[in-house]
Amino acid sequence: MTTPPPDIVTCDACPVLCRIRPDKTGACDRYGNIAGRLTRMDPLTVIARRPELVRAAGTEWAGNPFEPRDLFVSAIGAGTTYPDYKPAPFIVGSTIDGVDMVTIVSEGVFSYCGLKLKIDTDRHLGPAASIVRANGEAIGHVTTAEYGSQMLSLGGVHHLTGGSKKEGVATCDTMLALANGAPVELTIDNGATLIAQSNAPPIVDGARETRMRVGCGSATIGIFASQWLGHADEVIVVDDHITGVLTEHQAGRFLAMRPAGIRIRGRRSTPGRYFQVANPGLGWGGTDIQDPLSIIERIDPKTAWPGLRLLMVSTTGEHFAWFTLDAHLRPQPAAMPEAIAAAIARIAENCEPALCSVLFMAGAGGSLRAGVTENPVLLTRSIQRRLTKVTSGGAPAYIWPGGGITYMADVAAMPARSFGFVPTPALVAPIEFTLPRADYLALGGFAERIRPLEDILAETQARSVQLPPGVAFPVP
């Protein structure tokens, strides 16, 4: 193996092994050559409980009073444990409410990772299992339609490393941007073009989504039936999943409403509930229809009557139309009564803001566990027994049941720009393990590497930030 010149340092923070010249950084920009030493370029990030403890990197902590429970050392800017034999970059000891605690922090290099996107929309994004692309490259797929949302799965080791280099780079770049809160454009085979951004409204084929539906067509009828009583003779709530017809619905029967005799297209499930009234699309209620009357199959002259008042509305109240039946029982547009306009506004009022949620999901193995203990399976078991708490950048992490350490974290709950990358390609994400000191030692932890919080703050160029509003502080 050739020895690099003395002014060049070799970075061993990932398998790429960049050779970095003085005052330059490696391919990921996370590590640089500063005065001949391999140096993490971003400051260590400490989570502060109170605003007055927020400080920029390099601010002196000496003489600034704080309680250990008010500061939490995150893994953002900490560095990695790669290669596996390294203990974690920081193993922090502190006493909280009389209990000796240890927090082990490390930035994990994750090839086995992905993003789960929840897109609040009724608009059709694409058929289930359709390929999701960025810059023309396959980076994920459509999964399920949930209650008012469409779910996408992006990334994973097969897209990062199992395809072409171009596919891997596109996957890594897109995930990094989304994880760090930036907008990205995604295209879905046989579907829509989507602009997604964490904690922001999705934009589907150029239309910004504003409302997440209050419920399916059937649920909307169940919620608002009593408010329509006496003001409309029939209400049809158009929905791609379950279209509801008020007078047939159990809610209408409970209110003793007169049958209206308006039969709609689609497959009848139970009274007043219809599947497949139209194809999925960007129109009314997530269907492809622009004219709501097109879903009416027939009007029974033995049941309907001239002057019958008909409201057709979508599950968000975004689309609505008011008709009365003429002498030939044909629906005619009519001036909408104030009571009906108020009922439509009530539907809109009950719709929550439409957002795109981005959850980072990864399997923590290899070097991460070896950086915590010499017997990694004990860490896994401790986490599974909930003796060890896992956080990501100080934000709560959900641990999946079953084997291994598979976790998810909402990127919107983490400090800004918590994620990095390495050009293998893979994402770099912060992860912290917190547990009582006695339990850590029982795991076979690196007792000699435990350092007091005060020493770490005195010796590093740490910065402190607060978590986003509403996110619980990582320690009680």
- Residue 321 in domain: yes
**Domain count for the chain:** 2
In a domain, 302, yes or no: yes
Specify whether the CB–CB gap between 366 and 379 falls below 8 A.
Answer: no
Is residue 313 one of the residues assigned to a domain? Answer: yes
> Looking at this protein, which amino acid is placed at residue 218?
S
> What is the rounded distance in angstroms from the CA atom of residue 407 to the CA atom of residue 399?
4
Verify that 221 and 338 share a domain, yes or no: yes
Residue 266, by phi and psi: left (phi above 0), alpha (psi -120 to 50) or beta? Answer: left
Question: Does any domain span residue 152?
Answer: no
Whether residue 87 has a cis bond before it, omega within 30° of 0: no
Range of the domain at 303: 217-353
pLDDT tens per residue across span 224-246: 999 999 999 999 999 999 999 99
Q: Based on the fold, state whether residues 377 and 349 are members of the same structural domain.
A: no
Least Cα distance to 347 among 311, 310, 314 occurs for 314
pLDDT for 476 equals 85
Q: How far apart are the first and last CA of the chain?
A: 50
Q: What is the pLDDT of residue 63?
A: 64
Residues 6+ apart with CB under 8 A from 26: 11, 13, 16, 18, 20, 32
CA neighbours closer than 13 Å in the CB half-sphere of residue 335: 2
Collect all residues with Cβ–Cβ distance below 8 Å to 48 and sequence separation of at least 6. Answer: 54, 55, 70, 71, 464, 465, 466
Residue 138: exposure state from Cβ atoms within 10 A (0-12, 13-18, ≥19): middle
Measure the CA–CA gap between 340 and 93, rounded to whole angstroms: 63
Q: DSSP letter string over 308-325? A: -EEEEEETTSSSEEEEEE
Short-list 291, 295, 289, 284, CA closest to 239: 284
Q: Over the range 288-308, which residues count as b (16 or more CB within 10 Å of their CB) and which as e?
A: ebeebeebbeebeeeebeeeb
State whether 225 and 347 are in the same domain. yes
Domain's final residue, options 317, 337, 353 = 353
- What is the DSSP-derived secondary structure letter of residue 175? H
> Going by C-beta distance under 8 Å and a sequence separation of 6 or more, which residues neighbour residue 342?
none
User: Is 385 a domain residue?
Assistant: yes
Question: Both 233 and 286 in a single domain?
Answer: yes
Q: Which residues pair with 141 in a beta bridge?
A: 131, 153
pTM, two decimals, is 0.92
CA atoms of 103 and 82, how far apart (whole Å)? 18
Is 147 among the domain residues? Answer: no
> Can you say how many angstroms the Cα of residue 409 is from the centroid of all Cα atoms in its chain?
8
- Residue 312 forms part of a structural domain: yes
Among the three residues 321, 353, 385, which one is the final residue of a domain in this structure?
353
Asked if residues 332 and 312 have their Cβ atoms less than 8 Å apart, the reply is no
CA distance 30 to 474: 25
Whether residues 223 and 341 fall in one domain:
yes
Query: Where does residue 195 rank: exposed (0-12), middle (13-18), buried (19+ CB within 10 A)?
Result: middle
324 contacts 221 by C-beta, under 8 angstroms? no
Q: Please, is 471 exposed, middle or buried when counting C-beta atoms within 10 Å of its C-beta (0-12, 13-18, 19+)?
A: middle
Q: Are residues 344 and 403 in the same domain?
A: no
Query: Where does a domain end: 321, 336, 353?
Result: 353
Whether 321 and 242 map to the same domain: the answer is yes
On whether both 236 and 324 belong to a single domain, the answer is: yes
The DSSP 8-state label assigned to residue 266 in this structure reads S
Question: Residue 112: its pLDDT value, please?
Answer: 95
Q: 343 and 225: one domain? A: yes
Q: Which two tokens stand for residue 420?
A: 């990095």
In a domain, 202, yes or no: no
3-class secondary structure, 179: helix
Low-confidence ranges of the chain (pLDDT < 50): none
| 390 and 289 in a common domain | no
Same domain, 228 and 273: yes
- pLDDT value of residue 36: 86
* pLDDT given at position 30: 80
Q: Are residues 309 and 370 in the same domain?
A: no
CA 411 to chain CA mean position, Å: 7
pLDDT for the residue numbered 4: 55
Q: Residue 242 is encoded by which pair of tokens?
A: 């379950």
- What was the pLDDT predicted at 368? 86
